[in-house]
Structure 1
């Protein structure tokens, strides 16, 4: 299966396998900001209505009413919200008690909006280990007391864990509330932290050093020189690095993550991905 075409790509789009409404840097809040989750959902609803209107006129469309009903709706968002909160120096307790519930409220609202507009199959991702990103590790600190055994920031990963714990609970409740819906939650923190902690077993040499960036070890990340910016440096073999640019993972690391996701080992319930091809 090919990559999904971006919804906003005007030329050459092919929606026969689905559509991608994700935008780089998108978050859940503020909800009226361009390309926030709420806006993405509204774009989907417009896309669906437009497709069905054209189909009703006899035009051939890649997705019909049955396609929208039986499609798998993948939701993966929230890490940018968490990252922004900590970068803005929001106190940890406030992130846990206020920000995370607000973020998850937006995700829950998105799922329910899609459901009441005909969606029934959902695959929801938790967030990854924020405290293992070179971008976060490169921020100045007075000492290393907050680093865990694998060199990640314990406080940020604790927030990621709490985010996922609450998101999993929301998914559990929605399964009982939304009749006929199938909602799979996947723990990306467990998948990605295992990759970092046991990186050599997966063939990686650098778990916390960005392949593309500036500054060299230990993180090769600079807040003044971004990847592909003036003066940046890229590694020779990205397949040996877990992290690409301080925030995103390399293709090699993402391949491992994708395989773990598709295995359903880290999912609740543990439905095989192929289940959604037969519903």
Structure 2
């Protein structure tokens, strides 16, 4: 009888906890703040005038979901949009388009299409300035954040509370530092830029932590050797230059080097700031799946050929890129992983976002959205175990 009563108490207790947590738990994140480039820009370049890339203000950009151009470099939503959706938050408003009375309680986006990790001075000295879409580098975006911060929180207590429930994304950033060098045909500069890019990213994270950041997600670089841009610019007759998926080995090697160095730098940063949760988002591995088995993800038109472009083996043409005269968008972007030769489709971004949130491509893992939290006791145990196990694997 005593055992029976104990079981009833246990069942009642855990059943009660599950009910309370499932229906009344607050969101794991109340705010998202984002820094980066065109992979996550929700309208900043467009708001700045988009002088060198005006086509993002017109269809077919935005045609799939928004049914209009929003300044996003895709046919629809981006990874940052899907992350916001997963945590029940609104899409991030672009900083440069904010109005005085706009609600920014749930976050702001500082990312700018074409942005670099390194400042303009680096590209001037390298003779690459004419290729820049924008001068709004990571450091400039950080300046915007510091300027806006008093509108987000004021006192230390207020800011501690604010950042405790905030997810801050730093990137992807650095891809354009390599892209500009590649477009200029300066491969030596591309290789030499990596340590400088990594240093700039780490310095920005350090500053954000000093400003109060406690949860940061830092994405690595995509496999650029699978990009229609690189496949077109550096097309080769030598089969040995390509891997089994048709991607350029050498350029994927540059991405792998960047990601390896970034992970090492993040590990050192974790030791320096043990009270801060610094997560690495493996964009490379999450996207590589599309090139290995495109049909498994619904990309029946393949993963290497762009949906929107001006022809050629990979439907990418620098003189007739997506949105320009001579280009044309495919009828169904969801059958393509690549949108315009540089950026991915909404369908591809959806899979990547899901892979980051559900695992295993962010580590330590992101906090699970409310829908996946079953009970306080069980989730807490599982979450801590998974966090430590995955984290220790990559130390």
Q: Normalised by the shorter chain, which TM-score bucket?
A: 0.7 to 0.9
What's the offset of the Cα at 1:67? Answer: 1.6
Q: Cα deviation per residue 1:55-103 (whole Å; 9 max; x = unaligned)?
A: 99xxxxxxx62223431110111111121222233345x544x310100
List aligned pairs for 1:227-238, cutoff 5 A. 227-238=322-333
Corresponding position of 1:182: 277
Change (3 A) 1:273 1:81: farther
Q: Quote the Cα distance in structure 2 between the aligned partners of 1:10 and 1:35.
A: 17
What's the offset of the Cα at 1:271? Answer: 4.4
The answer on 1:30 being equivalent to 2:119 is: yes
For structure 2, the residue ranges without an aligned partner over 5 or more in a row are: 1-88, 122-133, 374-379, 381-395
Q: In structure 2, the residue corresponding to 1:68 is in which secondary structure?
A: helix
What's the offset of the Cα at 1:114? Answer: 0.5
Contact 1:241–1:250 (CA<8 Å) still a contact in 2? yes
Contact 2:223–2:251 (CA<8 Å) still a contact in 1? yes
The answer on 1:83 being equivalent to 2:83 is: no
What's the offset of the Cα at 1:203? Answer: 0.9
Corresponding position of 2:306: 210
For structure 1, the residue ranges without an aligned partner over 5 or more in a row are: 57-63
Corresponding position of 1:155: 250
Q: Quote the Cα distance in structure 1 between the aligned partners of 2:305 and 2:285.
A: 20
Corresponding position of 2:360: 265
| Deviation larger for 192-201 or 8-17 | 8-17
Corresponding position of 1:47: 148
Q: How well do the aligned residues superpose, as a CA RMSD in angstroms? A: 2.3
Corresponding position of 2:315: 220
Q: Quote the Cα distance in structure 2 between the aligned partners of 1:95 and 1:179.
A: 33
Alignment equivalent of 1:21, drawn from 96, 100, 110: 110
Alignment equivalent of 1:120, drawn from 214, 230, 237: 214
For these two proteins, the number of residue pairs brought into alignment is 266
Change (3 A) 1:186 1:49: same
What's the offset of the Cα at 1:35? Answer: 1.1
Contact 1:122–1:184 (CA<8 Å) still a contact in 2? yes
User: More relative contact order in 1 or in 2 (CA 8 Å, sep 6+)?
Assistant: 2
| Deviation larger for 132-141 or 168-177 | 132-141
Q: TM-score, normalised by structure 2?
A: 0.63
What's the offset of the Cα at 1:40? Answer: 0.4
Q: Quote the Cα distance in structure 1 between the aligned partners of 2:309 and 2:203.
A: 37
Contact 1:5–1:14 (CA<8 Å) still a contact in 2? no
Change (3 A) 1:126 1:192: same
What's the offset of the Cα at 1:198? Answer: 1.0
What's the offset of the Cα at 1:273? Answer: 4.1
Contact 1:239–1:252 (CA<8 Å) still a contact in 2? yes
Runs of at least 4 residues off by over 4 Å: none
What's the offset of the Cα at 1:115? Answer: 0.5
Q: In structure 1, the residue corresponding to 2:182 is in which secondary structure?
A: helix
Q: In structure 2, the residue corresponding to 1:124 is in which secondary structure?
A: strand
What's the offset of the Cα at 1:147? Answer: 1.4
Q: In structure 1, the residue corresponding to 2:318 is in which secondary structure?
A: coil
Task: Identify, as 1 or 2, the structure richer in helix.
Answer: 2
Corresponding position of 2:228: 134
Q: TM-score, normalised by structure 1?
A: 0.88
Q: Quote the Cα distance in structure 1 between the aligned partners of 2:236 and 2:271.
A: 47
The answer on 1:7 being equivalent to 2:7 is: no
Change (3 A) 1:140 1:154: closer
Q: Quote the Cα distance in structure 1 between the aligned partners of 2:102 and 2:175.
A: 28
Q: Quote the Cα distance in structure 2 between the aligned partners of 1:268 and 1:210.
A: 30
